[in-house]
Amino acid sequence: MGEKGEVTSDALTKFLEKSMQMLPLRVLVLEDHLFQRAIAVSLLNQLGCDVVFAAASGTQALEILREVGPVDVALCDLQMEDMDGLEFLQRAAQAGLVRSVIINSSLAEDVRRAARQLISLLGLVLLGDLGKPLQIDAVQVLLKKYLDEPDKRIMPRCADAAADPKEVCSAMARREMESYFQPKVNLLTGEVTGVEALTRWNHPFRGIVSPAVFMPAVESCNLLNELFFAQIEHGMEVQRQVLKRGSLLNIAFNLQPVQLTDTTLVSRVKAILARYGLSGAGITFELTENGLVDASATCLENLVRLRMMGCRLSIDDFGVGFSSLQRLCQLPFNEIKLDGEFVRALDEERRCRVVVSSTLALGEALGMTVVAEGIETAAQYQQLIELGCTQGQGYLFARPMTQKALLDWLESRAGVQEKQ
């Protein structure tokens, strides 16, 4: 300190550095071990967290949150006497008292994996899974992840669980449902190999609404086919535009198993292709295997006829159902889409790495392409390359985008490749 009222440059720098490090976060530490609880609180204070609460049990944690209100992050042990971490998170989620979770546990890897799945089912955002002892750098990365992604700071609303069918019917009539497209790429060359067509509800007040919110209502209103065939029309328009530029872009559409019972499915697809002057070879239909357990003769006939037209058939979310191998043997799939959950866990779990490696080997043995979903980081990308995966999609490459945005994106990539 210089003369009264003055601050030296060094002191000012330290003050500014400290201010910049402050994190506007409310964090709860749930840990029954006194020493480890103290370490966690101290670590969070060093990172500049705005408010830190500490509890030795789930019961105490709930009492604190009911008094002080919701927290942004719960740094949570799982195995404790009295109320354990899982029961606490279940109750806290129901009461809307926790927005996101960092697991801090020394339990076995497979047990923690199951716990992570449970946390997602509770509607909470899982920021990460850290073992013990805590490492300050790892915690800092996860807290930054929370602050950098606005969606993680929004408490899930019960109203978003499912949209009102009447509202969805009106939205369909007003053409508020819009087709988005997410690229698939060759992981070795970076070449775009196709896109997956997705539907988003462009709500006039709520913005872009996820299919998880409105698809149940679409099905209950018997509007599934209307939405599906409108999406194919949009996809064929994109394909025709890209074809004019000298490239063929495969378009993948999500086909619900219930639609395979429609005896007019194949003829309607043929009619759309004929209208655009395109062939079935440029289309992939993705189906989740869970809905194909009791495939009827009509379902099987439709799948065979689609293959006869040249269309590709992809078994989606592979590995999360109970009959994947049986479906591969019985139905004419020629592509496997590996569920993103396995990709996201590559860094943390040996079992997931084994599943990915085994699926790639299975695909090669069966002559089927394997596409890895949910690639979000360079580390995941590198590990997939090392395992021999050559096809993938995810936010690392591109997010779903509108038709115009996709065409602009493809054109910009083509321009860059020409200069190289």
- 137-195 pLDDT, tens digit per residue, is 899 989 988 887 655 444 443 334 567 888 888 888 888 899 999 999 999 999 999 99
pTM: 0.67
Q: Quick check: is 373 catalytic?
A: yes
Of these residues, 81, 149, 373, 418, which one is catalytic? 373
Determine the pLDDT at residue 6: 41
166 in the same domain as 148: no
- Does residue 8 fall inside a structural domain? no
230 in the same domain as 140: no
Of 153, 185, 200, at which residue does a domain stop? Answer: 153
104 in the same domain as 172: no
214 in the same domain as 109: no
260 in the same domain as 126: no
171: CATH: 3.20.20.450
> In Å, how far are 43, 66, 88, 112 from 57, measured between CA atoms?
20, 14, 9, 19
Terminal CA-CA length for the chain: 57
239 in the same domain as 116: no
Weakly modelled stretches of the chain, pLDDT under 70 = 1-22, 149-162, 289-295, 319-324, 415-420
Determine the pLDDT at residue 54: 93
Quote the number of domains for the chain. Answer: 2
Determine the pLDDT at residue 3: 40
Determine the pLDDT at residue 85: 87
Residue 126 CB neighbours (<10 A): 19
- Write out pLDDT tens, residues 342-370: 898 887 778 888 989 999 999 999 999 99
What is the distance between the alpha carbons of residues 203 and 3, in angstroms, rounded to a whole number? Answer: 60
Q: Which domain holds residue 46?
A: 23-153
407 in the same domain as 308: yes
